Each structure stands twice: as structure tokens, then as C-alpha cells.
Amino acid sequence: MRSGQPTINDVARLAGVSKKTVSRVINRSPLLGPDTRAQVEAVIGQLGYVPNPQARALALRRNFLVGLVHDNANAQTVMSVQRGMLEGLRGTEFEMVVRPLDRDAATMSADLRHFLERQRLHGVLLLPPISEDDAVAALCAELGCRYVRMGSAPLDDAARSVASDDRAAVRSAVAFLIEQGHRRIGLIAGPPGFRSGTERRLGFEDALADAGLAVAEELVAPGRYTFASGLEAAERLLDRVPRPTAIFACNDEMAAGVIHAAHDRGLAVPRDLSVVGFDDTPTAAQAWPPLTTVRWPVVDMARAAARKLIATPDAPDEPALFPSALVQRRSVSIPAA
Amino acid sequence: MRSGQPTINDVARLAGVSKKTVSRVINRSPLLGPDTRAQVEAVIGQLGYVPNPQARALALRRNFLVGLVHDNANAQTVMSVQRGMLEGLRGTEFEMVVRPLDRDAATMSADLRHFLERQRLHGVLLLPPISEDDAVAALCAELGCRYVRMGSAPLDDAARSVASDDRAAVRSAVAFLIEQGHRRIGLIAGPPGFRSGTERRLGFEDALADAGLAVAEELVAPGRYTFASGLEAAERLLDRVPRPTAIFACNDEMAAGVIHAAHDRGLAVPRDLSVVGFDDTPTAAQAWPPLTTVRWPVVDMARAAARKLIATPDAPDEPALFPSALVQRRSVSIPAA
DNA sequence: TTGTACGCGTTATCAT
DNA sequence: ATGATAACGCGTACAA
């Protein structure tokens, strides 16, 4: 302990045992004399010794780092995910590293491989839409990196997946709109290639089918999950005659765009148009009027995902499926006569 | 290279040189035969060799990790910072680890120390408000960890600081309001203990003084940088008689709250009330009406900060002061007669 | 200009 | 149950 931290050698010397014994104490080896353990633990406490993560990483060929790999997702969502992961990691020796990826780059797969090979992370959480790519998961597996995929529907076995049931959630959200008396309901879809978009659209269709309603293609507009695309889609939808009395947007950003578009043409929400979003990001609460939306339990999923990533074989299982719920605010009312 | 990555030894063997020579090539040592270098580089390329960061970290007692340390900041801001940092780090061997801290926890300082001691980061970016704490900077220095402090005014020497000039920025924003004809201008202040709050308030007072106007204490309300606090403060301000014709809120979240409050009592923005925010987060563009605000160049600051953190002595200096600018949207107009 | 020997702090192997 | 010794992959004295 000449300078800086005490090392395992210092502990071993002071405790009068070998390095390996100290290592066993740290790693909770079952085969250890109780007195030895107590003795070593005392010295550890007294010295304030903490194992050096770099040395461990080298010896174990595995870092005490958990990665968040995402591409292009919504900023609010990414922040919530980070919050959840850090909650799941709190009190452990793991840290979180964040790695955005450019899905459009031809080198995306190579970038990820390079990252994983070099950093030797303990595990990674894959966010949608990249989590939906089986090749990416296969790459993680090939490189011996644990992973958990987050999605709008289960993407893998329970140990490697956290998911919501977006289809069911949207189904009941749109059912709520129908209960309120809406019959002409517009849909702003998600971008192609997003599983969440597919699931949410299916939920929309389910609800209409449940009520014996047909899906009017003229009331379905494509979106890209951005505010601007929501605004644009809403303008198209609001041009239809007769106008839809309600619009379900596949995420809150687009729903905010819908509210914006309605205001722009002097339509009052919800009097002239009811709006429902999805995600329950802060955007939803801060829109005017506050947006009725479906809560996507992203913090809970991320927390569970982190725990799955660092779980030891004996740890209790974390849930893999998380319930969504309709958050009723003020953007929905009975349609005007 | 029996399994997995090739190591420095594999390169040395294949190139017919010693480890150390390879090491010199990697680290760009000046004293090296050109042929040797070319030869080694060829083998490196052929093998696809990349140095193992864990081993380097152990030997160098320093990680190729750059940390983002923040507490309690706005989610949008944190995301922008991450984006900027990752841009600054792109193409380098550095990764970003994110570390939130709870400023209210009594153990905050100990937590940070523990984190820095263990992880041996190459450097950390400190976000406000924690960046304003000199004790935190001193702690980094003591532990031999490079740091850069981000702030609303320079907090350290140019090599360790990235800053905007919020005072000047707000001064000209409020001057713009006065030019439009506003005389009763409300202020929603930032929370106590935030340098940004102080600076922005000073800028507000500057502008009023420039125009020969007095600061009416009844038109100043405290805020906590949250949407809810902005809404609350706006309600208080809008109760004043006569009503203010404009409100400057010290950040966009609170300004969104102001718009919300105005709508709630049937006031049109900007006809009945002009609103200006600060930060230029997505919130501002998505409010209705779109919010006139001051752009806080957070991405640029973060990018520069990252470059400062990983700069070698010969690298060109990154700027330390970043200009803000008023972003004019639709929440400001001439006051109604 | 290049190579040898060793240290960084930990875990793993194989003894006892 | 515990210990000696060898990895792990790279950097640095110091020597050549």
C-alpha cells in the first residue's frame, strides 16, 4: 500500500493469509473457514480495501460494465432507460456505459462487434428497434456477451427479454375511445421496421374489430415517431371529410404534433378532436391539453433488464413481461354532435 | 491467438519483433525505424489486432473511459450532453460512462470519491449544478482525474471549463421584449444554488436597467426549473394587477408551464402574454405556440469538453466560451393595448 | 533503434 | 480449507 489504494496483497499480508484466500472472501466462495473469513473481512474493512476493477477485468476477461446499446430512439425514452438501468445497478459494482449506434451505417454490425470485442462488457441492454434484429442478438451470443432485448412484445426467452404487451394496451386504449362514442378514429402509424409500430397497429385493428368497425384506410397515416411527422400526418387526416373525431398516434411525440396541428387550424382538443398517444413521456403531461396516453413501463423494464444482466444463477427471476395502463388526462372527450 | 482476439504477443511473433516494439508502434513512439513500423503495422492490419483496453488500464493505472457526472439536471439537457460527448469521442478509443449523483445525499462526496478511485477514469465532465461545487473539482484534482466543468459562466481555467454567457444572453433576450414594447415583464427565477439561475436573473436585471426600468419584486417568482414550478409561478404572476404582458422563464420547462397556465385561464399566447424561455430544448419547439427561447449551446459545449478531456498536450485548444443566441418563434408579440 | 525482465492487481490451476 | 504459482495483456525501466 505504498501509494493510493490498498491491494489484495496488503490485505493478505495483514491478515496473514494468501492472496487467493482474500480473493475467495471477496467472491463469496462457499468453501472457507468461518474464522478465516471473519478475520479477512475485518482487515478489508479496516483498510477500506476495494478490488481493482481493471485487474479483475483482465483476469476474468470480463468487465464490470453493463452497456446500453441503442440507435435512434426517442431521447426521453433513452433517459428513462438509463434511469432504470442505474437503479437496477445501484449498490452493485457495475457501471453503465452508453453506446449509440447508427442503424443506417453499413458498418453498424462491425461497429457493434468491435465495441463488444474490445470492451468485454458483462452484458448489454438492446433497445428497440435494434433489439428486434436477431442478427444483433446472435452477434452478442457469439461474442459471449450477455444481453437483454427490450421490446413491445417478447423477443427472446424470459432471461433475455423485457417486454410490454403493446397490442393489448392499444386495444384497450382504442376501446376506450369507442366507448366514448367515437366511430371515425384516425391512426398515425409507426415507422416501418419497428415492431412497436406493428404491434400498436394490430391493437388498433383489434379494437375496431371488437366493435364491429372497419379500418378505413383513408384514416391511417404513416408516421416516423417524430413530432414533425405527427404534425404532418395529422394535417392529412384532418383534411378528410368527414373529419375523424379522434386520433390515436403510435407515440407521444406524434400525438403532440397532432395537438399542434389541431390548434393551428383552430380546432379545440378535445372538444373537436380527441387525441391519444403512447409512451407517457413528460411530453404527454406537458402538452396542452395534457395528453391521454398509454404508459410504457420503460423504467421498470430497464431496471429488470439490468438485474437480469448481472444476475447470478441463484438470483430470483426478474419478470419479463410488464403491464401497460391507460393514463387518462384531458385530451379525450365525447365526440361533438 | 489460440482463442478470441490476437494479442500484442501474436503481433510481435508474426512481425518478428519484440512486444515493446509493437507497443511503440501503437503509442506512436517517435524513435522507431520506418521499415519496422511499416512491417508491424502491416501485421496489425492483417491480424485485425486491437489493444486490449483492460490490460492497458491495468498497466497505465488509467482507463480509456470518460465519465459524465451529473445530478438532477434536466433530462433533455443530459441527453444533449451525451450526444455531444459521444460526438467528441467518436473515432477514438474512449467510451462514455454515465454516473448520476444525488446531491442531497450526505454521502455524495464519498460516492464520487469511491467512483473515481475505483474506475480510474481518464476524465470526467461535470454538469451543473454539481460542476459549480469547487470541492468536487478539488476532489477530482486530488484523485488525479482530469475534469471539465460545464457552466453558465466560466468556472475554471479554459482547459477545464466550457461555458456560455447566460447573463449576456438573457440581457439581449429581455431587451428584445422591451423593444417589442413590453414594460411589465415577469421573471420566473431558477432554484437557489444554481449559478445559471443567478446569471440569468442578473441578465434580466441588466436589461431592465439598460432601459431605465425598475425591477418590480412582485413580478419575480421563484421556480425550480420544473414544469410544475413554472406553472405554479405563472399562476401567481398572472394574478398581479395589472398583469404582466410578458414573462421570461429561466428555462424552457418552466416556460412550458407558463404557456400551460395561460391557456388554463383563457389567455392567448402571445396575444395576451408573451413568453420567453431558455435552453432551446425540444420542449420549446413542441410547445404551442412554439416557444421563443435562448439557445444554450449544450451539444457544442459537451463535444468540446470531451475533446478537452482526451486532449494530448500537442492538440489544438478547444474553445472554452460558447455563444448563445435568441431563437425567435411564436410566443412573443407586441403587447395588447 | 530494439529487446529483456518485471510490475500492474486479480483470478484460476493444482497442489496439499 | 488453504496456498504457491502461473496466467491475463500491456507498459516501463534499463540494458544492449
Amino acid B37 CA to nucleotide D6 C1' distance, rounded Å: 32
Query: With contact defined as beta carbons under 8 Å apart, do B121 and B95 qualify?
Result: no
* B328 touches A at CB < 8 Å: no
What percent of chain B lies above the pLDDT cut of 70?
99
Cβ partners under 8 Å of residue B36, min gap 6 = B17, B21, B25
Q: Which residue of A has its CA nearest to B91?
A: A111
pLDDT of residue B233: 98
Q: Whose CA is closest to A121, among A89, A87, A86, A97?
A: A97
Predicted confidence band of residue A190 (pLDDT cuts 50, 70, 90): very high
Judged by CB atoms closer than 8 Å, whether chains meet at A50 and B86 is answered as: no
With residues binned 3-state (H G I as helix, E B as strand, rest as coil), the percentages for chain A, rounded to 5, are: 45, 15, 40
At A211, list the grid cell.
366493435
* B90 touches A at CB < 8 Å: no
Judged by CB atoms closer than 8 Å, whether chains meet at B256 and A285 is answered as: no
* B52 touches A at CB < 8 Å: yes
Predicted confidence band of residue B118 (pLDDT cuts 50, 70, 90): confident
Query: With contact defined as beta carbons under 8 Å apart, do B186 and B198 qualify?
Result: no
Which residues on B lie below 8 Å from A263 (Cβ)? 288
Average pLDDT, chain A: 92
pLDDT of residue B158: 95
Judged by CB atoms closer than 8 Å, whether chains meet at B118 and A52 is answered as: yes
Q: HEC states along A234-285?
A: HHHHHCCCCCCCEEEECCHHHHHHHHHHHHHCCCCCCCCCEEEEEECCHHHH
Distance from CA of A97 to the nearest CA of B (A): 4
Whether omega for the bond prior to residue A270 falls within 30 degrees of 0, making it cis, is yes
Max CA distance (Å), chain B = 87
* A72 touches B at CB < 8 Å: no
Amino acid B8 CA to nucleotide C1 C1' distance, rounded Å: 19
Judged by CB atoms closer than 8 Å, whether chains meet at A52 and B65 is answered as: no
Residue nearest to nucleotide C5 (CA to C1'): B20
* B74 touches A at CB < 8 Å: no
Strands A246-249 and A185-188: parallel
Other residues' Cβ atoms within 10 Å of the Cβ of residue B273: 27
Q: Which residue of A has its CA nearest to B142?
A: A4
Q: Angle, to 10 degrees, between the axis of helix B19-26 and the axis of helix B8-15?
A: 110
Predicted confidence band of residue A1 (pLDDT cuts 50, 70, 90): very low
CA gap A52, B278 in Å, rounded: 43
Question: Which SS3 state, helix, strand or coil, does residue A34 take?
Answer: helix
Strands B123-126 and B274-279: unpaired
pTM: 0.91
Which ranges in B64-210 belong to alpha helices (H)? 75-89, 108-119, 134-142, 166-179, 195-210
Amino acid B34 CA to nucleotide C1 C1' distance, rounded Å: 10
Element (H, E) at A69: strand A65-70
Angle at A129 between CA A127 and CA A130, to 5 degrees: 70
User: Mean pLDDT over residues B330-336, rounded?
Assistant: 96
Compare A127 and B71 and report the one with higher pLDDT: A127
* Beta bridge mates, B248: B187, B276
Q: For nucleic chain C, which protein residues have CB less than 7 Å from any of its atoms?
A: A 4-5, 7-9, 19-20, 23, 26-27, 49-52, 55-56, 58-60; B 16-21, 24, 31-33, 35-37, 55, 58-59, 61
User: Mean pLDDT over residues B163-190, rounded?
Assistant: 98
How far apart, in Å, do the first and last CA atoms of chain A sit? 81
Element (H, E) at B292: strand B292-295
Other residues' Cβ atoms within 10 Å of the Cβ of residue A295: 19
* B95 touches A at CB < 8 Å: yes
CA gap A239, B317 in Å, rounded: 54
Amino acid B19 CA to nucleotide D8 C1' distance, rounded Å: 15
CA gap B50, B183 in Å, rounded: 64
CA gap B259, B255 in Å, rounded: 6
Distance from CA of A227 to the nearest CA of B (A): 7
What does each C-alpha distance from B74 to A254, A310, B251 come to in angstroms?
22, 28, 10
Residue nearest to nucleotide C3 (CA to C1'): B18
pLDDT of residue B123: 94
Residue owning grid cell 438492446: A126
* Beta bridge mates, B67: B97, B124
pLDDT of residue B2: 43
Judged by CB atoms closer than 8 Å, whether chains meet at B119 and A58 is answered as: no
Q: Which residue of A has its CA nearest to B73?
A: A79
Amino acid A1 CA to nucleotide D3 C1' distance, rounded Å: 22
What does each C-alpha distance from B328 to A168, B277, B324, B333 come to in angstroms?
43, 11, 13, 10
Choose among A61, A76, A256: nearest Cβ to B75. A76
Judged by CB atoms closer than 8 Å, whether chains meet at B282 and A100 is answered as: no
Kindly provide the b/e burial profile for residues B20-52, where b requires at least 16 CB atoms within 10 angstroms of the residue's own CB: ebbbbbbeeeeeeeeebeebbeebbeebebebb
Which residues on B lie below 8 Å from A79 (Cβ)? 75, 78-79
Distance from CA of B172 to the nearest CA of A (A): 28
What does each C-alpha distance from B1 to A18, A246, B246 come to in angstroms?
32, 63, 69
Compare A28 and A245 and report the one with higher pLDDT: A245
Q: Is the CB of B196 under 7 A from strand D?
A: no
Predicted confidence band of residue B1 (pLDDT cuts 50, 70, 90): very low
pLDDT in tens, B59-71: 888 888 999 999 8
Query: With contact defined as beta carbons under 8 Å apart, do B126 and B78 qualify?
Result: no
Choose among A5, A58, A283: nearest Cβ to B55. A58
Which residues on A lie below 8 Å from B4 (Cβ)? 61, 117
What string of DSSP letters covers B191-231?
Answer: PTT-HHHHHHHHHHHHHHHHTT----GGGEE---SSHHHHH
Predicted confidence band of residue A3 (pLDDT cuts 50, 70, 90): low
Max CA distance (Å), chain A = 86
Query: With contact defined as beta carbons under 8 Å apart, do A136 and A160 qualify?
Result: no
Determine the residue among A288, A291, A299, A331 to mutate to test chain B binding: the one whose Cβ has the most chain B Cβ atoms within 10 Å: A288
Query: With contact defined as beta carbons under 8 Å apart, do B126 and B192 qualify?
Result: no
Choose among A52, A79, A260: nearest Cβ to B288. A260
Q: Which residue of A has its CA nearest to B7?
A: A118
Q: Return the closest nucleotide (C1') to the Cα of B12.
A: C3
Query: With contact defined as beta carbons under 8 Å apart, do B330 and B298 qualify?
Result: no
Judged by CB atoms closer than 8 Å, whether chains meet at B97 and A95 is answered as: yes
Judge whether residue B159 has pLDDT over 90: yes
Choose among B50, B120, B227: nearest Cβ to A118. B50
pLDDT in tens, B229-268: 999 999 999 999 999 999 999 999 999 999 999 999 999 9
Element (H, E) at A124: strand A123-126
Element (H, E) at A198: helix A195-210
Distance from CA of A153 to the nearest CA of B (A): 26
* B227 touches A at CB < 8 Å: yes
Compare A70 and B34 and report the one with higher pLDDT: A70
Distance from CA of B247 to the nearest CA of A (A): 18
Query: With contact defined as beta carbons under 8 Å apart, do A144 and A299 qualify?
Result: no
What does each C-alpha distance from A98 to A2, B86, B95, B162 come to in angstroms?
35, 9, 8, 22
Domains and CATH numbers, chain B: 8-42 (no CATH), 65-164+298-323 (3.40.50.2300), 166-296 (3.40.50.2300)
User: Mean pLDDT over residues B168-188, rounded?
Assistant: 98
User: Mean pLDDT over residues B96-103, rounded?
Assistant: 89
Which residues on A lie below 8 Å from B260 (Cβ)? 286, 288
Amino acid B20 CA to nucleotide D15 C1' distance, rounded Å: 14
* B281 touches A at CB < 8 Å: no
CA gap A303, A281 in Å, rounded: 17
pLDDT of residue A117: 84
Strands A220-221 and A325-327: unpaired
